[in-house]
Amino acid sequence: MNTYNALSSNAVNLYRHLIWFVVGLLLFILLSSCTKDPLPDLAAQRSPLPQNSSRTIEHAMGTSQVPQKPQRVVVVDTAALDASLALDVKPVGSVIYEQFPNYLGSQTEGIESVGDGNQPNLETILRLNPDLILGSKVGSKRLYKNLNRIAPTVFSEGSGRAGDWQENFILFAQALNKEQQGWQLLQDYKDKAAALNTQSKDVSETVVSIVATAQGKVGVFSVKSFAGSILQDIGVDRPKAQQKPKRHAAFVSREDLESLDGDIIFLVRDQRSDTSLDRQAFVSDPIWAKLKAVKRDRIYEVSNQVWSAGRNILAAQEILKDLETALSAENQS
């Protein structure tokens, strides 16, 4: 009987060791597949560009030798997509967030998606055989090494979300060898902003609020946001609570009317979200109905794709149009 028990115990121990061996082997295979280099060896051997056919660009990740005239550009940030299209360069590939921004219209036709904005597909980018990749350090720093193995990669420091879009635009223009055109487009934008300032009466005394709602929360955009920087260029005033420059946006209580109110309110709406309130739902709310802008019928529903996600010059031009509409109504009141 004791012999039988001993044999049974040995069999159980052997079985347990076998199970742990199989589990360990499966974990090893899984980890090996996760850490496998996503690029073939060929990409690691990307040859440097000949000196007479390249330019040196300084950017957030160091310096890069880029082609004199890039022909196959891939962008891993929608701000870089906006900038490229503004400079008459259609990328062969771009990240997307569910879809291309509507405000870019037909300009995005023929551009291949290289994956979600938060996780570009390196194999798709490699297949497109780009000669230049554009993006931002804040959004894609972890991908830079692999992207730079595929093609020369230029990153801006910020994404434009904190109001730094103008310097990002000029960096992308330099990388695309379109710097002169970039400066001209930027000057055109500044001229338009200055014209809005002079054409509108008491513009510096007009308080403009930027509000967004999503998932039951209420947010405001500060002077240090993309849209906030454009309002600053025009010279309008902002609610005191939106003048704090620590962050580009912040959540506030829906009862915090002082944070929300202004002579004009731009309601930034994400039309893809069921929880993002439209204008009618906003003005019908019994609390928000107390706002001065609601009482004066100065609520303007605008697109999140432009006012928050655009972050470059074509989106900035769209914001100027929205502001022109609102300020014209103020002039007539």
For residue 160, with 0-12 CB atoms within 10 Å meaning exposed, 13-18 middle and 19 or more buried, which class applies? Answer: buried
pLDDT at 247: 83
CA distances from residue 2 to 7, 9, 10, 15, 16 in whole angstroms, order as listed:
9, 10, 12, 20, 21
Asked if residues 87 and 173 have their Cβ atoms less than 8 Å apart, the reply is yes
For residue 41, with 0-12 CB atoms within 10 Å meaning exposed, 13-18 middle and 19 or more buried, which class applies? Answer: exposed
**Token pair recorded at residue 39:** 């690029």
Summarize the chain as % helix, strand, coil (round to 5).
50, 20, 30
Q: Which residues pair with 55 in a beta bridge?
A: 66
Asked if residues 61 and 137 have their Cβ atoms less than 8 Å apart, the reply is yes
In whole angstroms, give the CA distance from residue 62 to residue 231.
32
Taking alpha carbons only, the member of 159, 100, 153 closest to residue 130 is: 153
**Token pair recorded at residue 19:** 């199970």
CA distances from residue 27 to 20, 31, 33, 47, 140 in whole angstroms, order as listed:
10, 6, 10, 37, 29
pLDDT at 47: 63
**Token pair recorded at residue 299:** 């609520």
Instruction: Give the phi and the psi of residue 71 in degrees, each rounded to 5.
Output: -110, -30
Mapped onto helix, strand or coil, the DSSP state of residue 200 is: coil
pLDDT at 3: 47
Taking alpha carbons only, the member of 197, 230, 217 closest to residue 302 is: 230
Q: Which of the 8 DSSP states describes residue 92?
A: S
To the nearest 10°, the Cα dihedral for 109, 112, 113, 114? -150
Q: How far is CA 272 from the centre of its chain?
A: 16
Mapped onto helix, strand or coil, the DSSP state of residue 94 is: strand
pLDDT at 86: 98
In whole angstroms, give the CA distance from residue 82 to residue 314.
6
pLDDT at 52: 74
Mention every residue, 6+ apart, whose C-beta is less than 8 A from residue 251: 217, 218, 219
pLDDT at 184: 98
pLDDT at 200: 79
Q: How far is CA 200 from the centre of its chain?
A: 31
In whole angstroms, give the CA distance from residue 109 to residue 7.
72
* Domains defined for the chain, CATH in brackets: 54-177 (3.40.50.1980), 196-329 (3.40.50.1980)
**Token pair recorded at residue 250:** 């912040």
pLDDT at 51: 66
Q: Can you give the pLDDT of all 333 residues of the chain as single tens digits? A: 454 444 455 555 555 655 665 556 566 555 555 545 556 654 555 666 766 789 999 999 999 999 999 999 999 999 999 999 999 999 999 999 989 999 999 999 999 999 998 889 999 999 999 999 999 999 999 999 999 999 999 999 999 999 999 999 999 999 999 999 999 999 999 999 999 999 877 899 999 999 999 878 999 999 999 999 999 999 999 999 899 767 899 999 999 999 999 999 999 998 777 778 899 999 999 999 999 999 999 999 999 999 999 999 999 999 999 999 999 988 877
pLDDT at 8: 53
In whole angstroms, give the CA distance from residue 96 to residue 81.
10
Give alpha helix (H) positions in 45-111.
Answer: 78-86
Q: Which of the 8 DSSP states describes residue 47?
A: P
